[in-house]
Amino acid sequence: MPERRPQRVAKTAAKAKLARGTPACAPPRKNTPIIKGEPLAQRANGRDKHKEVVPEQLKLAKKVKQEPGQPKLAVAAPVKAPARGLAQRNPAAAPQQPVKVEKQPMPVAEPAEDAGEVAEEDEENLHPVPTKVSVGGSPVYVVDKRLGKGGFGQVYLGKRLPRRNVPASRASPVAIKFEHKTSKGCVAGGPPYEWSVYTSLGDVYGVPKLMYKGQCGDFFVMIMDLLGPSLWDIWSMKGQRINERHAACMAVEALSILQKIHAKGWVHGDVKPENFLMGPADTDKASRLFLVDLGLATKWRDRNMQHVKYEQRPDDFRGTVRYASAHAHLGRVASRRDDLESLAYTLIFLLEGRLPWQGYQGENKGLYVCKKKMGISTEELCAPMGQSFREFAEAAMSLRFEDEPRYEAYQALFEPLLYGVAEKPITLDPTLKVGQKRGRAQLDWDAEGDGTARKRLRQGMRSQQWITVYNKHAVMKQRYHYNVATARLDVHVRKGLTDGLQISSVACTGDLWALIMDAGSGLGNQVYKLASAQFLPKEWIMEQWDRGFYISSVAGSQSGDSLTVMSKGTRFTQQSYKVSDIFPFEWIKKKWREGFHISAMATGGHAGRPGSAGGPPPAVCNWQWAIVMSRTTGYADQVVELDFAYPSEGIHKRWDIGYRITAAAATPDQAAFALSLPRRPAALDEAQETLRTSTFPSSHVKEKWDKNLYISAVAFGRTVP
């Protein structure tokens, strides 16, 4: 079912112009790959499907035969309207390049795969810390044994230097965190970023108090409340598992602490068992819980008390791989939901002793971990655990970017485990009523503000569907063909060209092609190449660049063949492309800086690799991405939405501020969309819609045509059912 209506509909002068001025030139034969095909009349018996729109008022042509087997519409979601992508030469069929982790301008946690363990080789690289310190007006502390070490700093026990009238035993010991000026946490050799977070936060319940800070030699030093063992230590001591009651206490108290940190406008950003510390042993705080390490904290609310803006930089990961939220893996700006998702993983780890994505290695580890996190349902993830933990995990993972978590409702989920327990292993926030008999609370954790049921976002189900994008356009002729075997593609193309149509989009499912041709692309002569086991045909593309053609659309098959369409009459003045095993965001950013924008995208299987046709099910890296970027596309700005689940929340956020989908591609695991902001503000009024359908949306296309919405992009791949 269905589609949502276009939000805005407006014709623009530019679109009208495109619709009028469509040349109908066939591609030069000698550059057109020779493909033997049947005459058009035979198509009815073939398995390829096609359809064209013939606006009544234009009376351009008759409808081509409609094939049987109407599509089943699985889902439909709306979006807005783009402009067209175009560009020049400079092929860069560069080798595969992994997405890198960027560390600027904030520090990035070096994800310790096995938390709580200090790598031996790191030890010798540690700078020796001073034996005594006094900073920021503090007394002199003797630096005693090391309490812990993280990716940024080392924490030591500090004992007050004995004074004449005060025995050392009477002075409370402290924790001293040393961060060398060359540490990743120090911004350009200056004080650690964490200092600014502590200053902004002030005193917060459950966060150790920072007493003094200052510089001592090459070290930045923080003197703070001394705390006790971490939850990781406790988990380790208890045979690598803690019981549900203990975990429930921890959950309730952690939620209290996070609520208070969030209330100050901050997201912690690195919630994990090693960062939850108990109070110091043998003190009245021994059973209290604290959250340390603010080095990755970020603001979710700005100075004007507005939520920070949504943003995705797919290669910008911050956090610890094992516990990071899926959104953090995808490079989305952190918000409160991310701390809660990490808390859910922390609880599952403490209860179960491991998380399903532990053990992944290699340069694409983050990608695999994220894929696993997105692909597993909360039922499966929390199968051996009580309902409280599953419900909490589900609530945390269903939160949207700006949602305010319902901390109390989540805490109430754990009530059944805490009711009647006199001696709790963790002292709970005295302002809370959890664990006191008040019955199962009226939980609204799974309801929207208006009381309707909240949509579950991680259902562990995945599917592959057609993703079609429709743009508003002046009435024009459009034709589509799908399930086209390679041998028959040429027939359709030639016929279309003869009828004055140009190829505007191509796609592939399995090894069958989809072809969209219309009279509104504004393109001139076209050539295309079907390259067997080549993704993309570099030499041919370079030849065409020399002849003044630019890539206008591209598609790849599961077995590694590619279909590249190059056109004259584009607006492009320069063009470049890259083929990569993973989404090449690093390269895209570089090209953005050079003034290029994505003008076409495709995915294709690796010829001959497992996962190609006939092989085992494809994994992330058995697919390749081809990204084409061009100069002078007419876009003022461009962003990318990459997700393991489509529809992605980010598309709607971008759409709301004027971006429109201008290119789409998908593998069985991921869907990527380029969203562009047209240079001409008038274009913002153009409507755009998207559809997800399990079969090619033949009947829906006709409905769209009736509303003057025409296919502008098509892809087949990862969606959620």
Please report, as ranges, the residues that interact with ligand ATP according to CB under 6 A. 109, 147-153, 155, 175, 177, 208, 224-227, 230, 270, 274-275, 277, 292-293, 295
Q: Cβ atoms within 10 A of the Cβ of 683, count?
A: 23
**Residue type at 83?**
A
The whole-angstrom separation of Cα 343 and Cα 609 is 38
Checking DSSP bridges between strand 174-180 and strand 219-225, what pairing results, if any?
Answer: antiparallel
The whole-angstrom separation of Cα 452 and Cα 717 is 30
Question: What minimum distance in Å lies between the beta carbon of 417 and ligand ATP?
Answer: 27
Question: What minimum distance in Å lies between the beta carbon of 143 and ligand ATP?
Answer: 13
**Residue type at 75?**
V
* Residue 275 or 287 with smaller CB distance to ligand ATP: 275
* Residue 193 or 407 with smaller CB distance to ligand ATP: 193
3-state secondary structure of 164: coil
The whole-angstrom separation of Cα 218 and Cα 213 is 14
* Tokens encoding 99: 């997405």
Q: Cβ atoms within 10 A of the Cβ of 352, count?
A: 18
The whole-angstrom separation of Cα 196 and Cα 213 is 11
At a CB cut-off of 8 Å and minimum separation 6, what does 169 contact?
none
**Residue type at 718?**
R
* Residue 109 or 381 with smaller CB distance to ligand ATP: 109
Among residues 48, 225, 270, 338, which one is catalytic? 270
* Residue 224 or 541 with smaller CB distance to ligand ATP: 224
**How far is C-alpha 7 from the chain's CA centre?**
25
- Cα separations (Å) of 645 from 317, 470, 523, 667? 18, 20, 33, 11
* Residue 283 or 387 with smaller CB distance to ligand ATP: 283
* Residue 146 or 456 with smaller CB distance to ligand ATP: 146
* Tokens encoding 523: 């393109």
* Tokens encoding 415: 């009530």
Question: What minimum distance in Å lies between the beta carbon of 178 and ligand ATP?
Answer: 10
User: Is 707 annotated as contributing to ligand binding?
Assistant: no
Dihedrals phi, psi of 639, to nearest 5 degrees: -130, 165
144 given a catalytic annotation? no
Question: What minimum distance in Å lies between the beta carbon of 322 and ligand ATP?
Answer: 12
Exposed/middle/buried for 164, CB within 10 Å: 0-12, 13-18, 19+?
exposed
The whole-angstrom separation of Cα 96 and Cα 94 is 7
Q: Which residues are catalytic?
A: 270
Binding-site residues from annotation for ATP = 177
Binding-site residues from annotation = 177
